[in-house]
Structure 1
Amino acid sequence: MSHRKIFKFTSAAIVATALVACGTTSRPGPSAVAPDRETAPVVSIPLPPVAARPVRPAPTALENTIRQLAAGFEGRAGIAIRAVDEGWTVESNGRQLEPQQSVSKLWVALTLLDMRDQGRARLDDPIVVRAEDLTLFHQPIAFLAVKGDGFHTTVGDLLTRALTHSDNTANDRLLHYVGGPDAVRAFIARKQLGDIRFGPGERLLQSRTAGLNWQPSFAIGNSFEIARSRLPMAQRIAALDAYTRDPPDGAAPLSIADALARLARGELLSETSTRIMLDTMGASVTGRARLRSALPSGWKIAHKTGTGQDLGRRNAGFNDVGLLTAPDGRRYAIAVMIGDSTRPIGERQALIRNVAAAVASYAGGNGGGARSTLTLTDFGTAEGD
């Protein structure tokens, strides 16, 4: 079976399974396709109930561990953990704004699903991705978009590609579909998600971070990398300094952890849209040496990674945020964001892993099997965005 067929089956299965299981409450808006497509009965399957637990104080041992991990890392990093069901929060530098990079795909997806809840969007709406929609860096959809009159697919398929494979072009096409950056910023403000910025889109964000002005030719082949390499080093450093100092896509880890906790509790979306969002995040294939690699057997994770540009040994954004669920059902929203560091990728991965391992150890679910000191030989460095 070809790569294209495998991916189409995988992406369709995630959304289709959720839609069949959960039904739909959406109604086509003025620009949607014919209303007779909405013929299935409305069915709602609630999220699995979690037993109510009294709010507990933050665990001292975990607080100390997180503080030590942050202090021992060379670079700027913020960590936040929010116990969804127990109410406590542990954080270190959790209020400082760090570059999100592809973590920001979460807010596009949530905006889309919120529109679905309002009857203004449908996951089975047809959509076309063409060559002029291409962006930069990780975009597996590119080889489909440049063929014929483009890649004809659905909104739900793009959602799956954006969240599970961190496809930049799929995400930017969805961003255009929901109304652009202003629509996402309006969602963040309306839901009161806190210190979370949303940038200008992949093309402008990455070109400005590199010290370039966007040109459509940058989306073809390695044209962007060539143009970036020809810039004077002083110009590249100044651009990266400006980005990390005041990132237009910056967010506080504490705000992200809080947003994920609210998502898990069903406070941001309908039950069906919440399930679709978490199931899709749970199918992510990126970041195999980050949060997920430290979780013992029986744990579940729904997460989103983000990785910024490199300049020599320096990296501007290395993140993993998500919802960890212990075998007993307790849930922990977690955000680990490295905003600016010259440490090797293995050390950045290790910081993220160690935070997840500390949570698993606190919850008592590690069974002695959590590994917090994995090396590059375990996973390599090609782990996705």
Structure 2
Amino acid sequence: MLNAVGFPIRLASGALLLAPLLLLAACQPAAPDPQAPRTTPQLASPKPVRAPSTQAPKPKSVAIAPPAIPSAAAALDRRIEALGAAFRGDVGLAVRDIQTGWTSHYRGLDYFPQQSVSKLWVAISAFDMADRGKIDLHGKLSIRADDLTLFHQPIKSLATRPGGFQTDREDLLTRALTQSDNSANDKMLREVGGPDAVRATLAAKSISGIRFGPGEKGLQSRIAGLDWQPAFSKGDGFYAAREAVPIARRRAAFEAYVADPIDGARPLAMVDALARLKNGQLLSDASTAQMLDIMGQTRTGALRLKSGLRPGWTLSHKTGTGQILQGEQAGYNDVGILTSPEGRSYAIAVMIGRTSRPLPERMDLMRKVVRTTITYDSELGNQRQAGPT
């Protein structure tokens, strides 16, 4: 049984099995026609079969027990709920067993800011276009100073060289995913057709519960109470402009964003999309393998989800980090696909919308979600070995 957003839920059901008692009524032959010729002898009337003298018993209802829930899955539910409830800040958590579809979550239907997690959807749009022959990922292009955006952009040193920087689309995708390079991502966003094209890809692939914003320049300007200007990409232009915004306006823009993020996503939708990516339901086999390989090389967030890994476990993931205003951060995330040494995989989303808690506390939450998932995998394996009880 699936719930409203397509995830497994427990179903308590019952059915009535009816065992009716069939009674044989007495049979009497038809009266002979006095005008009919008697050419054959009449048959003797059969003896009537009497109905039982006692009243027939009422049908008994037989309850059908719901399928047993593995204790490991029930424990995962409890632990994820406890981790979410204990964290002091707006947080949504979701873990999906990609093999069975079992999903545990905390506030999984609420929207949380994605920030750079949204770079995933630009990459999926590009790979999808490549699968359909609409774009060549090895096509050459140039990155120049006027392609720069704001905040984290390691490509900046290359783009500001005389003549700019020659590269290809695949390199830009890799930089956007592994380094969370804003300029590389915004360049690829233009290459795939802009925000509307990404939204069309999400809709075409039935990825719901995930919004795509206007791109890094528009998103970050809006959160700061600004409208993007090309001068913001030069030097400290954006920081200077943001500092000049009256604090009341900045606070209003910040509050509006965290209350209803234009790039928001539901944790349950996030793990569903990641599971479908892993299962090859979003891209071709070759593109799926390539994207997961790139995500496995992510350099950002070494102390987030990745800090919970055990020997032999791997993680293909994407981080997201929002702006800070007066000690509060709007978005601190890590989402990805966790894979065991034996090849079992789990989609994980930890999305923090607003918090002022120290970074070590946020990282500790992410580490615990990964460790909890690994514990679930171990307990489920033990239950399978033990067999039915």
Q: Under TM normalisation by the shorter chain, which class is it?
A: 0.7 to 0.9
AA paired with 1:258?
A: D
* Aligned counterpart in structure 2 of residue 92 of structure 1, from 87, 106, 113: 106
Deviation at 1:364, TM superposition (A): 1.9
Asked whether 1:226 is paired with 2:255, we answer no
**Structure-2 separation of matches of 1:153 and 1:74:** 44
Aligned to 1:242: 256
Maintained 8 Å contact 1:158/1:174 = yes
**Structure-2 separation of matches of 1:292 and 1:360:** 12
Deviation at 1:56, TM superposition (A): 6.6
**Structure-2 separation of matches of 1:198 and 1:149:** 32
Asked whether 1:135 is paired with 2:168, we answer no
Deviation at 1:346, TM superposition (A): 1.4
Q: Map 1:13-32 to 2 at 5 A.
A: none
* Aligned counterpart in structure 2 of residue 59 of structure 1, from 53, 65, 73: 73
Asked whether 1:160 is paired with 2:153, we answer no
**Structure-1 separation of matches of 2:68 and 2:290:** 28
* Aligned counterpart in structure 2 of residue 268 of structure 1, from 282, 285, 298: 282
Maintained 8 Å contact 1:56/1:86 = no
Aligned to 1:308: 322
Aligned to 1:27: none
**Structure-2 separation of matches of 1:235 and 1:345:** 27
**Alignment CA distance shift 1:246-1:151 (3 Å):** same
Aligned to 1:324: 338
For residue 63 of structure 1, give the secondary structure of its aligned residue in structure 2.
Answer: helix
Q: Map 1:143-182 to 2 at 5 A.
A: 143-182=157-196
Asked whether 1:343 is paired with 2:357, we answer yes
**Structure-1 separation of matches of 2:167 and 2:342:** 39
TM-score (normalizing by structure 1) = 0.79
**Structure-2 separation of matches of 1:169 and 1:349:** 26
AA paired with 1:254?
A: L
For residue 207 of structure 2, give the secondary structure of its aligned residue in structure 1.
Answer: coil
**Structure-1 separation of matches of 2:112 and 2:101:** 24
**Structure-2 separation of matches of 1:220 and 1:349:** 33
**Structure-2 separation of matches of 1:84 and 1:222:** 44
Deviation at 1:59, TM superposition (A): 0.7
**Structure-2 separation of matches of 1:290 and 1:55:** 34
Deviation at 1:149, TM superposition (A): 2.2
> Mean alpha-carbon deviation: is it higher for 184-193 or for 338-347?
338-347
**Structure-1 separation of matches of 2:355 and 2:339:** 29
Aligned to 1:183: 197
Aligned to 2:126: 112
Maintained 8 Å contact 1:313/1:344 = no
For residue 71 of structure 1, give the secondary structure of its aligned residue in structure 2.
Answer: helix
Aligned to 1:294: 308
Deviation at 1:221, TM superposition (A): 1.8
For residue 311 of structure 2, give the secondary structure of its aligned residue in structure 1.
Answer: coil
**Structure-2 separation of matches of 1:150 and 1:56:** 59
Deviation at 1:282, TM superposition (A): 0.3
Deviation at 1:352, TM superposition (A): 1.2
Aligned to 2:94: 80
**Alignment CA distance shift 1:354-1:298 (3 Å):** same
* Aligned counterpart in structure 1 of residue 271 of structure 2, from 232, 257, 270: 257
Deviation at 1:60, TM superposition (A): 1.1
Maintained 8 Å contact 1:56/1:87 = no
Aligned residues with identical type, % of pairs: 55
Maintained 8 Å contact 1:314/1:340 = yes
For residue 319 of structure 2, give the secondary structure of its aligned residue in structure 1.
Answer: strand
The structure with the greater share of residues assigned to helix is: 1
AA paired with 1:203?
A: K
Root mean square deviation, CA, Å: 1.5
Deviation at 1:347, TM superposition (A): 1.2
**Structure-2 separation of matches of 1:169 and 1:55:** 50
* Aligned counterpart in structure 2 of residue 69 of structure 1, from 77, 83, 86: 83
TM-score (normalizing by structure 2) = 0.78
**Structure-1 separation of matches of 2:102 and 2:217:** 38
For residue 59 of structure 1, give the secondary structure of its aligned residue in structure 2.
Answer: helix
For residue 350 of structure 1, give the secondary structure of its aligned residue in structure 2.
Answer: helix
Q: Which structure would you say has the larger Rg?
A: 2
Residue ranges of structure 2 left out of the alignment (5+ in a row): 1-66, 380-389
Deviation at 1:230, TM superposition (A): 2.1
AA paired with 2:121?
A: W
For residue 133 of structure 2, give the secondary structure of its aligned residue in structure 1.
Answer: coil
Runs of 4+ more than 3 Å apart: 54-58
Aligned to 1:284: 298
**Structure-1 separation of matches of 2:146 and 2:237:** 15
